[in-house]
Amino acid sequence: MKIHSLLHCSLITEDLTRARAFYEGILGLTPSPRRPAMNFDGVWYELGAQQIHLLCLPNPDRDVVRPRHGGRDRHVAMGVSSIDELAMKLEAAGIPFTRSQSGRAALFSRDPDNNALEFIEATD
């Protein structure tokens, strides 16, 4: 047996409308029609062969203090075509972010539910 790929990550949101405004309005993702009916609300986004699943459920970590820099927290990393363009969108929306401390073309931000996200400039 060999694990050969990562298929999706799931992130909890308590306010799906607010989360969708971030993922769709700020990040430009499109909901996937492949999400089956479930006993809780949510949305899936396809990023190449992988997906992000937003689960609209009570947040078990609501009162946990997260590190300021998302690179020191559990996080999901995504490739983007332009870090500078993303930074401008986040700034315009008043969404805080930090640049990678390694000097790479990457930044860290959080979604409205405090999930840490890393964005790495990649050509593919």
73-82, pLDDT tens digit by residue?
A: 999 999 999 9
Would the CA dihedral through 38, 45, 33, 24 be positive or negative?
Answer: positive
Looking at the chain, the number of H-run helices and the number of E-run strands are 2, 7
Instruction: Give the side-chain half-sphere CA count within 13 A for 11.
Output: 24
Give domain status of residue 89, yes or no. yes
Q: Is 46 helix (H, G, I), strand (E, B) or coil?
A: strand
C-alpha Rg value of the chain to the nearest Å: 15
> 85 lies in a domain?
yes
**Rounded to two decimals, what is the model's pTM?**
0.92
Residues contacting residue 92 through CB under 8 Å, at least 6 positions apart: none
Phi, psi dihedral angles at 46 (to 5 degrees)? -100, 130
In a domain, 17, yes or no: yes
Any domain includes 116: yes
Query: Domain for residue 3, yes or no?
Result: no
Higher pLDDT, 62 or 47: 47
Residue 1 lies in a domain: no
What is the per-residue pLDDT across 3-45, written as a single tens digit (0 to 9) for each? 999 999 999 999 999 999 999 999 999 999 999 999 999 999 9
CATH code: domain of residue 73: 3.10.180.10
Mean pLDDT of the chain: 94
Query: In the chain, how many domains are there?
Result: 1
Say if residues 106 and 121 touch (Cβ distance below 8 Å).
Answer: yes
User: What amino acid is encoded at 51 in this protein?
Assistant: Q
- Residue 6 DSSP code: -
2 assigned to some structural domain = no
Q: How far apart are CA 101 and CA 61, in angstroms?
A: 26
Q: Which structural domain range is residue 85 located in?
A: 8-58+67-121
Position 39 in a domain: yes
